[in-house]
Structure formats: C-alpha cells, structure tokens
Amino acid sequence: MQLRVTSLPGDGIGPEVTSQAICVLEEVASGFGHDLELDEKEIGGVALAKYGNPLPDATIQACLASHAVLLGAVGSPAFDQNPRERRPEAGLLRLRQELGAFANLRPAVYYPALAACSPLREEIVKGTDILIVRELLGGLYFGQPRSIEGNRGERHALNTMRYSEAEIDRIARVAFQLALTRRRRLLSVDKSNVLECSRLWREVVTSVACDFPGVDLSHMYVDSAAMSLALKPTDFDVILTENMFGDILSDQAGGVVGSLGLLASASLGGAVGLYEPVHGSAPDIAGRGIANPLGAILSVALMLRHTFNLPKEAECVEAGVTSTLMGGFRTRDLTRNGERAVTTEEMGGQIAEFVRLAAGTSGQGAS
Ligand code: IPM
Ligand code: MG
C-alpha cells in the first residue's frame, strides 16, 4: 500500500519526537511491505521565523496532497508577544480548519508497567481506558467576533462561543460510532446549567442517541467530570465534549495515566487525517534529547489504523510501546527515584527494533 505522509516537526521538542515516530513508521513500511512517501514541511514558530507565516501555502498544499499528516508540536516563547495571527498556534488552528479535522480523538490508556507514574493509587487508576472525543473546529477557539479593544487600563476582551446543531450532530455521531467499537458507554460533558451552547449541545447529543440504541449515553457538567476523572478514571469509556473542555480534560487525562508525553491524537473529518501528540513544544527541555517520543509514536499507530486501515500494523506499534515499557525503558518524565532515564532516541529505537523483529516473524517482510 502507498503511504503518502507529510511530516511537520514544528517547534521545541517537535522535531525530536517526530523523527523517532518516523523511524518507527519507516520500519512498519519496510517490515510490512508498504511504500512510504515522506515529505517534510514547516509549521509554527519555525515557519514564522523563515517565512513570516505560521502556515505557509506550501505546507497546506503538501498536506492536502498527502494521505495523512504527522505533526510534532507548535509554540515558542519567542513569539509570545506577537498578535494572535502571527503566533505559532495560529498555524496549527488553521491547519485543522484547512483539513476539516473536526473530530479529535485522544485516547488515554493506563499501562500496568507505569503503575508508579500516576499520581493516583494503583487500585484507582488500574484499568483506565478512556477515549476523549473533542470537537475541534468550533466553540471559543474559532467563534467570531473576537477582539481586545480600548485604551490601556480600559480595555475589554471578547471571545465568542458558538455551536450550530450541525456541528454538534456530526461530532456526536463520530463519538457514538466509536463507542460501539468499545464498551458502548458515552459520556457527554457540558456546562448546560450555565451556557446556551451547552444546552443546545445536550439537546442535540440526546437526539442523536436515538440512532444508537446500543450505546448507553449519560451527561455530566464539566466541573463534576473533572473531579470524577481524578477520583474514578475507570468509570469512563468515551467522553464527548466541545473544543475547550476537551483541551482541558485531555491534559488532565494525561496526568491521570502518568504523563502527558504518552498521549497521542488523531484529528479526523476531512480527506486527510492529522496526527499529533497531545503534549506541546516543551521549550524548557527542547534539544536535549530527553523528551518522551511515545505520544508521537502512538500517533503513528492511530494513523495506521484510521487513515490507512491497517489494524495489524497499528497493533504492532502499540505492542512495541507496551513491550518497551515492560522492559523498563523510561524517558525522564516517566522515571521515579533513581531510575535510569533513556534518551528520546533510545526509546524510539526500542520500538523501531520491536517492529522490525515482529514484522520479520509475521512473514510479511519478504515483499
Ligand atoms: C492541544 C494544544 C493546542 C490546542 C494549542 C497548541 C493550540 O493545546 O492540541 O491540545 O489548544 O488545541
Ligand atoms: Mg491542549
């Protein structure tokens, strides 16, 4: 199969983790007999510095011409004072829009090998397997009007939260479909006791549920959901929520399972899927070779499953991650008192090696 992928390493630790994810993807391609075509482009702060634009046209064109996009991270303190349109984050938000990626899937899974990493007791966190389905193209992130106006000392700022029935309906259907492939429990998270957007959200999600009688739907306010996520993470299966709530709850879910560095994501909806680790650019540790590449590597697994429909290859990458963690390999974010930390490259190398051996023994490597 032909795998046409655009990679956008971006800022901070983005290039380090992306290069490991690509090594794993290359190993999958050669081991399972696929033809990988890679194209690398700029986004975020590196694109701003080079072209004065966080999402140059050449990047959009390359992404639209490929089957899938693998992104590292965007964000750099160098541009903190820039107006919104000339910040690195604006490049990512526009890319999501250009790709029509309204459905953001963020799995948070507990690894028994990492029991000691979670701040929660093992008996609480053990068995956690959550899929957050975050609406990615609406709400406060994109609502118009938005502004900061007035003179210093008297300024006011405005953001708009806006959702249409159609926007809620389409993301709800994605979440219900995914719930059918899992434990069939869907929790919709909103703030319908206060926000009109949330009232409409709850109403539309409830009506979509009629088309999915096999899924058990419940609702929770976001404040209460945040507490439950910390107290009883195993109660959750699929969480469906709007853009901003999903941004917040997914970082929290990363904390629950032990490190945000473990979390991968898939952003779907258009013809080209966008895959990126949930963590940011982490400028404080960039360039030191200590970042955790697992979020990026697991994003490759999501790409294999969702864009290329190659579940065996996806499972092989995931098995590589599990096996590497069981083997005791830990990047710095995962180490506990006195444990030795491996580098980004050593961690990635372990998984690439696992894939190489597994693909070889599965007899698919001959082609
Ligand atoms: C994420 C990030 C982004 C977001 C930023 C970098 C724009 O926090 O993917 O969760 O807020 O969506
Ligand atoms: Mg975030």
Can you give the residue ranges of every domain in the chain?
1-107+260-367, 119-132+147-257
Q: How confident is the model at residue 363 (pLDDT cuts 50, 70, 90)?
A: low
Q: How confident is the model at residue 364 (pLDDT cuts 50, 70, 90)?
A: low
CB 356 within 8 A of CB 31: yes
User: Would the pLDDT of 366 be above 50?
Assistant: no
- The ligand whose atoms approach the alpha carbon of 252 most closely is 2
Q: How confident is the model at residue 361 (pLDDT cuts 50, 70, 90)?
A: confident
- Mean pLDDT (whole number) for 131-137: 98
Q: Render pLDDT for 14-71 as a digit per residue (tens, 0 to 9).
A: 999 999 999 999 999 999 999 999 999 999 999 999 999 999 999 999 999 999 999 9
Q: How far, CA to CA in Å, does 33 sit from each of 1, 66, 167, 319? A: 8, 19, 39, 19
- The ligand whose atoms approach the alpha carbon of 44 most closely is 1
CATH architecture of the domain covering 119-132+147-257: 3-Layer(aba) Sandwich (3.40)
Residue 99 DSSP class = T
Summary mean pLDDT of the chain: 97
> What is the model's pLDDT at position 338?
86
User: Would the pLDDT of 365 be above 70?
Assistant: no
State in words which class domain 1-107+260-367 has: alpha beta
CA of 249 to the centre of ligand 2 (A): 9
Tracing tokens 């992306």 back to the chain, one arrives at: 18
Rounded to whole angstroms, the Cα distance separating 121 from 242 reads: 29
Task: Give the ligand 1 atom nearest the CA of 89.
Answer: 7
Its pTM surpasses 0.85: yes
> What is the model's pLDDT at position 232?
98
Q: How far, CA to CA in Å, does 53 sit from each of 41, 69, 230, 263? A: 13, 19, 39, 28
CA of 166 to the centre of ligand 2 (A): 24
- Mean pLDDT (whole number) for 271-286: 97
What are the residue numbers of the active site? Answer: 141, 191, 223, 247, 251
Fold match between 1-107+260-367 and 119-132+147-257?
A: yes
Q: Render pLDDT for 95-106 as a digit per residue (tens, 0 to 9).
A: 999 999 999 999
CA of 73 to the centre of ligand 1 (A): 9
Q: How confident is the model at residue 367 (pLDDT cuts 50, 70, 90)?
A: very low
> What is the model's pLDDT at position 228?
98
Rounded to whole angstroms, the Cα distance separating 253 from 132 reads: 9
Record the tokens describing residue 286, joined without a space: 């960039």
User: CA nearest 365: which of 5, 34, 1?
Assistant: 34
> What is the model's pLDDT at position 288?
97
CB 225 within 8 A of CB 190: no
- CA 250 to centroid of chain Cα atoms: 9
Q: Render pLDDT for 64-96 as a digit per residue (tens, 0 to 9).
A: 999 999 999 999 999 999 999 999 999 999 999
Cβ < 6 Å from ligand 1: which residues? 74-75, 89, 92-93, 247, 278, 280
Proportion of the chain above pLDDT 70, given as a percent: 99
